[in-house]
Chains A and B, each alone.
Chain A
Amino acid sequence: MSVMVDIRSVHKSFGSLQVLKGIDLQVRSGQVTVVLGPSGSGKSTLLRTINHLEKVDRGAIHVDGTLVGYRRSGDRLRELPEREVLKQRTRIGFVFQNFHLFPHLTVLENIVEAPVSVQKRPRAEAEAAARRLLERVGLADKADAYPRRLSGGQQQRVAIARALALEPRLLLFDEPTSALDPELVGEVLDVIKDLARQGTTMIVVTHEIGFAREVADTVVFMDDGRIVEQGPPSEVLDRPRHERTRAFLSKVL
Chain B
Amino acid sequence: MSIGTAVTEAPAPPEPEPAEEALRILPQRRLGQWTAAAVVLVLLALALTSVVRNKAFQWDVVADYFTSASVLRGLWLTLWLTAVVMALGFALGTLLAVFRLSGNPVLRAVSWGYVWLFRSIPILVQLLLWFNIGALYPRILGVRTVDLFGPVTVAIVGLTLHEAAYAAEVVRGGILSVDRGQIEAAQALGLSRLRRWRRIVLPQAMRSIVPPAGNMLIGTLKGTSIVSVIAVQDLLYSAQLIYHQTYQVIPLLMVATIWYTVVTSVLGVAQYSVEKHYARGSERTR
The verdict on A121 contacting chain B, using a C-beta distance below 8 Å, is: no
Residues from chain A with Cβ under 8 Å of B191 in the complex: 86, 113-114, 117-118
With contacts A100-B185, A117-B199 taken as known, whether A105 is within 8 angstroms of B281 at the C-beta atoms is yes
A163–B189 CA distance with the chains assembled, in angstroms: 7
The verdict on B181 contacting chain A, using a C-beta distance below 8 Å, is: yes
The verdict on B282 contacting chain A, using a C-beta distance below 8 Å, is: yes
Residues from chain B with Cβ under 8 Å of A146 in the complex: 280-282
Q: Please determine whether B190 and A100 come into contact, CB atoms closer than 8 angstroms.
A: no
With contacts A53-B188, A94-B188, A118-B192 taken as known, whether A100 is within 8 angstroms of B281 at the C-beta atoms is no
Residue from A93, A94, A101, A104 having most chain B Cβ neighbours under 10 A:
A104
A186–B190 CA distance with the chains assembled, in angstroms: 29
Q: Please determine whether B181 and A104 come into contact, CB atoms closer than 8 angstroms.
A: no
Binary CB contact string for chain B from 165 to 197 against chain A (1 if under 8 A, 0 otherwise): 000000000000001011011111111110100
Residue from B190, B191, B282 having most chain A Cβ neighbours under 10 A:
B190
Residues from chain B with Cβ under 8 Å of A199 in the complex: none
With contacts A98-B181, A117-B195, A146-B280 taken as known, whether A104 is within 8 angstroms of B188 at the C-beta atoms is no
Nearest first, the 4 A-B pairs at minimum CB distance are: A146-B281, A100-B185, A114-B189, A94-B188
The verdict on A72 contacting chain B, using a C-beta distance below 8 Å, is: no
Shortest Cβ distance from A96 into chain B, in angstroms? 6
With contacts A100-B182, A104-B203, A146-B281 taken as known, whether A113 is within 8 angstroms of B189 at the C-beta atoms is yes
The verdict on A154 contacting chain B, using a C-beta distance below 8 Å, is: no
Shortest Cβ distance from A149 into chain B, in angstroms? 8
**Chain B interface size, under 10 / 10 to 19 / 20 to 34 / 35 or more:** 20 to 34
The verdict on B283 contacting chain A, using a C-beta distance below 8 Å, is: yes
Q: Please determine whether B190 and A87 come into contact, CB atoms closer than 8 angstroms.
A: yes
B186-221 with Cβ < 8 A to chain A: 186-193, 195, 199-200, 203-204
Residues from chain A with Cβ under 8 Å of B179 in the complex: 100
Residue from A83, A103, A105, A162 having most chain B Cβ neighbours under 10 A:
A103
Binary CB contact string for chain A from 95 to 114 against chain B (1 if under 8 A, 0 otherwise): 01010111111100000011
Give the B-binding residues of A (Cβ under 8 A): 51, 53, 82-83, 86-87, 89-90, 92-94, 96, 98, 100-106, 113-114, 117-118, 146-149, 162-163, 166
A101–B190 CA distance with the chains assembled, in angstroms: 15
Residues from chain B with Cβ under 8 Å of A117 in the complex: 191-192, 195, 199
With contacts A117-B199, A147-B281 taken as known, whether A82 is within 8 angstroms of B193 at the C-beta atoms is yes
Q: Please determine whether A148 and B189 come into contact, CB atoms closer than 8 angstroms.
A: no
Q: Please determine whether A89 and B182 come into contact, CB atoms closer than 8 angstroms.
A: no
Shortest Cβ distance from B219 into chain A, in angstroms? 27
The chain A residue sitting closest to B278, CB to CB, is A104
Q: Please determine whether A103 and B190 come into contact, CB atoms closer than 8 angstroms.
A: no
The contact of B185 among A86, A96, A106, A118, by CB within 8 Å, is A96
Residues from chain A with Cβ under 8 Å of B187 in the complex: 53, 86, 89
With contacts A100-B182, A117-B195 taken as known, whether A148 is within 8 angstroms of B283 at the C-beta atoms is yes
